[in-house]
Amino acid sequence: MVRAMDHKIAAQRDGARSRAARRSPGPPMPTVDRRIGGVPVRVYQPDATPVIVYLHGGGFVIGDLETHDAQVRRLAAATGARVVAVDYRRAPEHPWPAAVDDTVAVLTALAGQPLAVAGDSSGGMLAALAALRVPGLLAQLLVCPNADLTLSSPSVVSEADNGFLDPAQLREWIGWWVPSPEVRASAAVNLLVADLHGLPPALVVTAEHDPLRDEGEAYVARLTSAGVPVRHWREAGLLHDFPTMRDANPAAAAAEDRFLAAARELLL
């Protein structure tokens, strides 16, 4: 049974890398693979400032530095920032809180520099959870973030058949990352019940046909109620994690460009 599960996970990760390899590469720039705070990272534009610590998506299980390389390059090019992409430990081999601990370790090691966090999907949740543990960040820059591991928002049902993000698969991955239902509903990982006071200004972009749309927008509402400055909009007609679709969909490309321009504005 364990061997069959290992094979399934390996196949899912290989599939994610294969899909990414078929996309257009991001802009050329200097990069360095190294360790920061004991955690493997890839640093884009190593001499630039400010610094954005980036957390890739992939359901806490299948994403990695290679699946998001082009996306991170576009973020670095658009903002002019140094971007540190974190190769955090993934489930099921390393359940919660390993990925958050890795993110915090990187942010702590970079302390003393102007720092922001960014992420897409599950990486958006990791970025926000790390911001709860590391004060003084410049911003949180999130695309289609997870916010509620219970997956109880209405859009999880209404957008379940959009053909891109399968909530049933996501539930399985979340169960590997946080096996306890009680912990999944708790303030330790659930952004819809956590105390959000003191978080840095946020840029949050959601997508109309994303099962995670409602929880992302509920996070925006809770940030606003906590007095956190937020810039948010919903991209009409688009699916979850639309930046991965920019090659095939001009609307997705335009949407990512809007996000990148807003990220630059927030960091200036």
Residues annotated as part of the active site: 121
Count the neighbouring beta carbons within 10 Å of the beta carbon of residue 47. Answer: 7
Tokens 């929880």, residue located: 215
Question: Are the C-beta atoms of residues 116 and 52 closer than 8 Å to each other?
Answer: yes
Q: What Å distances lie between residue 145 and 58, 102, 127, CA to CA? A: 11, 19, 9
Q: What Å distances lie between residue 226 and 151, 157, 161, 233, CA to CA? A: 22, 28, 34, 19
**Separation CA 55–CA 131 (nearest Å):** 12
Name which of 152, 147, 156 is nearest 126 in CA terms.
147
